[in-house]
Amino acid sequence: MDDLERNLMSNENYSVHMVRESLDDLPEFNLPAPYSIRWYRPGDKEYWLAIQLEAEKFFRVWPALYEREFGRDDAVLARRQAYLCDGHGQPIGTATAWFNPDYEGQAYGQIHWVAIVPAHQGRGLAKPLLSVVCHRMRDLGHERAYLATSTGRIEAVGLYLKFGFVPKIRTNKDIFYWQVVANELDHQAVRVAVGSRGKERS
């Protein structure tokens, strides 16, 4: 577990992973007016930090975090980092179609750092934003994807389940915390993951 994952974990906010083993049959959602989505431009680091600082409830966001997570290659970021903008073109959300060449021994795409500022949440924006980055990941040649979230983000977990991501059980602690999630989200993928792996580890 790295420092970031430790920050994601508290008494009721445990870091968990979810996977989608195929990027076929991705859902699509229309973005409501007057919002738009554009891709990274040089200098967008400041927008990214501002969005994360406003939206993040569980851990500290600091300036060096951006380059730690994404590096400095503008060409890579221009293909992979999306910004959700309001009617004035101001970025108010972001998500990145990132990658991990060695996620448990295989190459995976990674849905990374999805966030929308609180003033624009609840307006049907998360689904279109996630749809755009999932499709971009597939267009870039990724066959599968994973993401890290946490059990305190029940709405986000529910969104990812609707997109076909399912729990990745890595430890016994994962089983326990997905059972906690199951108490709030009645979803077959959660029941199957907890039930099947729980039996294997009993």
Q: What's the mean per-residue pLDDT of the chain?
A: 91
Kindly tell me if the per-residue pLDDT of 201 is higher than 70.
no
pLDDT at 33 over 80: yes
pLDDT at 196: 59
Percentage of residues in the chain having pLDDT higher than 70: 91
Which residues, 6 or more positions from 195, have their beta carbon under 8 angstroms from its beta carbon?
none
Q: Which domains does the chain have, with CATH numbers?
A: 22-143 (3.40.630.30)
Peptide bond into 32 cis (omega under 30): no
Dist CA 185 CA 154 (whole Å): 8
Alpha-carbon distance 128 to 185, whole Å? 22
pLDDT tier, 195 (very low <50, low <70, confident <90, very high otherwise): confident
Mean pLDDT value of segment 56-75: 94
How much is the average pLDDT of 112-140?
98
**pLDDT band at residue 200 under the 50/70/90 scheme:** very low
pLDDT tens-place string over residues 98-122: 999 999 999 999 999 999 999 999 9
- pLDDT band at residue 202 using 50, 70 and 90 as cut-offs: very low
Residue 148, exposed/middle/buried by CB under 10 A (0-12, 13-18, 19+)? middle
Q: Which residue has the tokens 């577990």?
A: 1
Which pLDDT score, from 0 to 100, does residue 25 have?
A: 95
Average pLDDT for 28-47: 97
The mean pLDDT value for 28-55 works out to 97
pTM of the predicted structure, to 2 decimals: 0.90
Q: Which residues contact 53 (CB under 8 A, 6 or more apart)?
A: 61
Joined together, the tokens standing for residue 112 give 């990374």
Q: Report CA torsion sign: 173, 179, 183, 184.
A: positive
Rounded distance, CA 51 to CA 196, Å? 38
pLDDT at 9 over 90: no
pLDDT of residue 2 exceeding 70: no
Q: What is the pLDDT of residue 59?
A: 83
